[in-house]
Structure 1
């Protein structure tokens, strides 16, 4: 069995995605917390930059070799531990799952990233303006996600089985609430979220259950 070490942060949505996939596949990983604020951000420390030059989380160290970027990690876990599957067999359906993942990963998450928001603050934006700006982009992305999901019309994001898209969706919805996103018109996403949060892979990996959670 591979030795897996996950470097992450309790409130990081990208770290939560990876925790969901690990748990869904029944995999254990040693957890190394990386505080994104304390001391100017532990992700910038030399030991973290050595394994993640972007100074971000998560990073998965596999038998001494590091993989960064949450989607790359999720895909690695899916390819290395294919059962239970989190990608459909059909090539078109696999592409649709990846499309949903990228709506979150590329279309939403970078615009709510801590480093981006801190840059806006440094440019003179007050906290209310920054939050409103991020909330607008998050809502736009979630509406697009729901439109794509509705074309499938199933109990989860991309069908009747849990996929990598669901692992991306749930943490993003939690982040949306942190940014006070308006949820009117997003009822289908909330329905899917409710089903997913009844699954142990999602419920047991919640941010507030992580050892580095700050009360």
Structure 2
């Protein structure tokens, strides 16, 4: 079996999710960096691999998977243990909902291409962009805080890391980078801190990637 290659970027939270999941499963992979700020994700060579021109893409031989939710589901199916989804259908749906809250409702509104469009197309100032980011992360975190209060234990769901933590930890990183006040979200912060103690999460952190600081 050919080795996995993760196409990403050190500060991409979507690529960060995939690194966490692979690390939790103990799956070896190589990384290829594409500097998003330099537009390398839109180079012809990369578009031949990933036609959407975004990271991450996960490549194994001639197979290329795109979009982090699909990639994480594939990882879970391919390497079932340790499980990133709980046992019952209801609990799986709750964990997937936590993940989707980040992947669908929060992250798309504060990723690089949206923020760049605010700056260029609408001439948004630095303060206006930061207000935008704070608003949408805050909206999502307000709902997520309630879900963790209901379903969380040591981690976002129960007492073991799940797919939800793979999404929450990178979004916390983004929130801190944009200087969002996290005091209204103590359960999210606690879940993130618990996950951050695990070696799988430490090894996935943007600051320790080979391309850290690029762009």
Instruction: Tell me which interval the TM-score lies in, with the shorter structure as reference length.
Output: over 0.9
Aligned 8 A contact 2:108 2:114 in 1:
yes
1:85-100, aligned counterparts within 5 Å?
Answer: 85-100=83-98
- Gaps spanning 5+ residues in structure 2: where? none
State the alpha-carbon separation in 1 of the partners of residues 8 and 154 from structure 2.
30
- When normalised by structure 2's length, the TM-score is 0.96
State the alpha-carbon separation in 2 of the partners of residues 84 and 4 from structure 1.
19
Return the offset for 1:172: 0.3
Matched, 1:83 2:81: yes
Matched, 1:69 2:67: yes
Aligned to 2:30: 30
Count of residues paired in the alignment: 213
Q: Secondary structure at the match of 1:79?
A: helix
State the alpha-carbon separation in 1 of the partners of residues 152 and 208 from structure 2.
32
State the alpha-carbon separation in 2 of the partners of residues 63 and 27 from structure 1.
16
State the alpha-carbon separation in 2 of the partners of residues 46 and 2 from structure 1.
24
Q: Secondary structure at the match of 2:65?
A: strand
Return the offset for 1:180: 1.5
Aligned to 2:184: 185
Aligned 8 A contact 1:111 1:137 in 2:
yes
Aligned 8 A contact 1:139 1:182 in 2:
no
Aligned 8 A contact 1:146 1:186 in 2:
yes
Aligned to 1:157: 156
Return the offset for 1:2: 4.6
- Gaps spanning 5+ residues in structure 1: where? none
State the alpha-carbon separation in 2 of the partners of residues 202 and 153 from structure 1.
18
Aligned 8 A contact 2:3 2:61 in 1:
yes
Q: Deviations over 1:95-135 (max 9, x none)?
A: 00000000000010001011001111111111210111111
1:1-40, aligned counterparts within 5 Å?
Answer: 1-38=1-38
Which runs of at least 4 in structure 1 moved beyond 2 Å after TM superposition? none
Structure ranking higher in helix proportion = 2
- When normalised by structure 1's length, the TM-score is 0.96
Aligned to 2:141: 142
State the alpha-carbon separation in 1 of the partners of residues 2 and 200 from structure 2.
20
State the alpha-carbon separation in 2 of the partners of residues 185 and 177 from structure 1.
13
Aligned to 1:44: 42
1:116-131, aligned counterparts within 5 Å?
Answer: 116-122=114-120, 123-131=122-130
